[in-house]
Amino acid sequence: TLPTTAKLRYRAYITCIVLILSTCFTIYTIGFLAIGSWLSVYYTSEQLLQGNSSVNPWYISFIVTVTGFNQNGLSPFSDGLARFVHDVYINVFVMMVVMSGTSFFPVILRNVVILARCLSPWRHKVIFDYILLNNHCLSTLLFPSLQTRIYLFVTILLYILGVSISLILDLHSVHFAVYPSGIRVLIFIFHTVNTRFSGFQTVDINLFASATLLVYLLLMATKPQMLCALDETPLELSWLALQAQGKVKAETKPMVNINDSPGLAASSDRKGSTVSVSTAGVLPIRYVQRFLRRQSLATKNLARQHFTNTQLIDTTNRRPQRLKYLRSRLFLIYFIRALIKHTVSFIILTRTWLFFFIFLICAIEYRKLAPVDPHITIFKIVFEIISAFGTVGLTLGYPDVSSSFATVLSPASKTIIATTMLMGRHRGLLASMKDQEAIEHSAIDLLNRRREEIILKYQQTTLDTNTTDQKISDELITQF
């Protein structure tokens, strides 16, 4: 039998969590075993030295797999992954782990849900239908079908852009002449993939051309989830249109007619995917906007009454004082509303804070900036901030310093970079949470539709069986 409405919601949430965790641990296991076994077989203790001691290959595999999948890019070696620059196998598996945990995870997860639906019994398929229909409302890692395709397309396009620019500008660079052509291409692909989120390095990225580094800045700052920011799929848009029509009819018809049409009442009770009314008035700015909206409506009504009831007798083309007052008042209200809207948007946008953070670091470190120290430039500061905002961790470094460029900065600048990392890590979270405030597709409707499909299938099977029995009976009568 099919589950109840409450059980369907509960099982959908639990199933979604289980599928996400199972997918993550499957990728962890594959990456850990693949990298660890390769290092154990083909690398000696001398090749895995860090300082005076050798690092266990399985420990290396664990750190690289976990940090690569979770957008950290940490390595147990002070030189990153530079010693593996010629190892195609390690490079490929590290890229697969990084892409599986970042860029391609929504695509992988959606296909895992679809595969689980295909393999599940018929009575459990409704759970996966509920997950696929409500996708982003259940998990920020799930997108609708159209958004998932756009996400995949934009991600691949960004990868192609980064690799193409590197091939054009750096393939014949003297800095990479020591590497064979195939390894050079592998280096470009590896670093393009890692500029998206992870931050592993096999070469010093200072060797790349300045234009290539600018493209890397673009890749680090761009989040494909933001590029495919379609609020609704076409199906959901059509559903919202039907819902709006239902609300209009509900307002124009008497209450008796509304009670007589259960389908309309059901559609009117559904919540849309926009911000819910209960949360709309939480912030103080909402009260200000409502006050200004009421004042705007009141001013418009006064102006409308003035034009309706007043006969202008003055032929000198001078406007009455009352009309001038209303016009000025309405203009002031519109101006304040627009000012508040754009000011809040300007402050909330994280990229505005990036400019502010870059300015602060430049102001704090002005005694060290070039030409005082030619290795501390504005471009390096910008690169460090964008890398932190993209949760990538790539750095242009500093001479004779094995750690990142941030090592030579003051504690205040390091605090700003850490704040930038936090903002970049959680960018887009508020917009994603708004999608989860309301479930768009009702569990009741889904269960009713599933029951109708089962009944229809049963009736069709019964009809086919009766038809077959009738044919057999007719044949037996004919033979007799």
Task: Give 60-77 pLDDT, tens digit per residue.
Answer: 999 999 999 987 778 888
Q: What is the DSSP string of 273-318?
A: SS--HHHHTSSHHHHHHHHHHHHHHHHHHHHHHHHHH------S-P
Task: Give 17-26 pLDDT, tens digit per residue.
Answer: 999 999 999 9
> Model pTM?
0.68
Instruction: State how far the alpha carbon of 103 is from the alpha carbons of 108, 142, 433, in Å.
Output: 10, 13, 20
As a whole number of angstroms, the distance between CA 257 and CA 319 comes to 50
Axis-axis angle for helices 57-69, 88-101 (nearest 10): 40
- Placement of tokens 């593996």 in the chain: 84
Longest dimension (CA), the chain: 111
Total residues belonging to the chain: 480
- Residue 274's pLDDT is 37
Domain coordinates in residue numbering, the chain = 5-227, 351-432, 442-480
Whether a cis peptide bond, with omega within 30° of 0, leads into 411 is no
- Residue 234's pLDDT is 43
Task: Give 207-224 pLDDT, tens digit per residue.
Answer: 899 899 999 988 888 765
As a whole number of angstroms, the distance between CA 65 and CA 34 comes to 10
Amino acid at 280: A
**Do the Cβ atoms of 204 and 170 come closer than 8 Å?**
no
As a whole number of angstroms, the distance between CA 359 and CA 68 comes to 31
As a whole number of angstroms, the distance between CA 417 and CA 392 comes to 12
As a whole number of angstroms, the distance between CA 362 and CA 366 comes to 6
Q: Which two tokens stand for residue 217?
A: 């800045």
- Residue 263's pLDDT is 42
Residues of the chain with pLDDT under 70: 1-2, 223-289, 292, 296, 300, 302-320, 322-323, 326-327, 341-351, 427-455, 458-459, 464-466, 468-480
Q: Which two tokens stand for residue 186?
A: 């592998």
